[in-house]
Amino acid sequence: MTPAMTQATTPGMPERGEFAAIIVAAGQGLRAGQPLPKQFALWRGKPVLRHSAETLAAAGANPIFVAIPGGAEGATRAALSGIANIRLIVGGATRQMSVANALSALEGDAPEFVLIHDAARPILPAAVIDRLLAALVDAPGAIPVLPVVDSLSIDAAGKMSGSADRDSLRRVQTPQAFRFADILAAHRAWDSPISAGDDAQVALAVGLEVAHVAGDEALRKLTFAEDFMAELPPMRTGMGYDVHRLAAGEELWLGGLLIPHDRGLAGHSDADVALHAVVDALLGSVGEGDIGQHFPPSDPQWKGARSAQFVEHAVMLVTKAGYRIGNVDLTIICEAPKIGPYRDAMRMKLAELLSVDTGQVNVKATTTERLGFAGREEGIAAQAIATVLALA
């Protein structure tokens, strides 16, 4: 195992990588108001199901069984493309049946521990996984819980008939962790006509002890249409600025175009100062650092690289963060060459790289009135502002 998979936070706790996982994703998610089951709907730039699957895979879960609706294999494989150790199983008519199907399919692997998680809870903090595995040292099952903070009313025909003691109540989340053999036996013994709300109920029905561990508010469940309205800021802005010196014997790449000139910009890549400013603006808009962090000049693989691929990488990170590009405004600062003849071609090239309409891109140029390094024609500077909008 890699070092990241062997970290333990509690003495005696199972090492990461020594557990399997089941993701329950067999429902239709009709209340979410999406055009497809909510586990396949986009949320923060990728399918809901993919979020927790990536986290479980990174934590070392192997294998990861995903219980899916019949006929959804293609959609599931597309949603989980590239994630290791994924196996698919068709779910049943109820959540309990779906989990039972997955547990039976997992029996051949005979894992010691299994985490059972609802796909509709996309944010899965690693610390919760650690706490659950630690609890299995002393108990056959463990669930993440949160306190009830509001007063409770017992309803009778629309009227309050009493109250409940919130101090003894807990809100239950997933994943729920169990010793595999115990939870498999519990599901096989389940014969209640009432559908089990979660696996802890199935475990309690056969007398298994289920420990409480601290949950996390981030583990909330996506249920209604409003849950898919990005709680991220609806709009974010980033700024970028870059400078490269002019040197003899270099090509002049500017705004993605090769421009005839007696000198070119010097740098580790193609030194396209305009695109570099755009990249930094995009990275800044979603809090992803700067171009030097992603494409360090000390790395020989970027020697002479086209800056267009840097822009494409930044666009991918914007999408992954749950945003789309609203507009980009680029200013090139130089005495020569004159930018006017190339302005429209630059807008078109930038729009192509950003996958947006040309109306969302503006390119302009200015001089420094012969002041400073740009005025002395020692180099070219560029600055950019990018606005990104939350994905619906």
What does the block give as tokens for 266? 């010097």
How confident is residue 35, by pLDDT bands cut at 50, 70 and 90? very low
What average pLDDT does the segment 153-177 reach? Answer: 92
Tokens 């109306």 belong to 359
Cis before 260 (ω within 30): no
* Number of domains observed in the structure of the chain: 2
For residues 304 and 357, state if they share a domain. yes
Helix (H) or strand (E) holding 48: helix 48-59
Q: Which of 102, 82, 80 is nearest to 90 (CA)?
A: 102
Pair 67, 98: CB distance under 8 Å: yes
For residues 16 and 156, state if they share a domain. yes
Query: What's the pTM?
Result: 0.60
Q: Which of 39, 15, 11 is nearest to 27 (CA)?
A: 39
Instruction: Supply the range of the domain harboring residue 330.
Output: 235-390
Q: Among 228, 247, 278, which residue terminates a domain?
A: 228
The amino acid at 381:
A
Cis before 341 (ω within 30): no
In the predicted model, is pLDDT for residue 30 greater than 90? no
For residues 156 and 125, state if they share a domain. yes
How confident is residue 148, by pLDDT bands cut at 50, 70 and 90? very high
Q: Among 228, 252, 267, which residue terminates a domain?
A: 228
For residues 198 and 283, state if they share a domain. no
CA atoms of 57 and 86, how far apart (whole Å): 9
In the predicted model, is pLDDT for residue 338 greater than 90? yes
In the predicted model, is pLDDT for residue 332 greater than 60? yes
* pLDDT on residue 193: 83
What average pLDDT does the segment 226-231 reach? Answer: 57
The full DSSP string for 303-316 is TT--THHHHHHHHH
CATH code for position 252: 3.30.1330.50
What dihedral do alpha carbons 24, 29, 34, 35 form, nearest 10°? 90
Pair 282, 383: CB distance under 8 Å: no
Distances (CA, A) of 11 to 14, 15, 17, 131, 135: 9, 10, 16, 12, 11
For residues 188 and 257, state if they share a domain. no
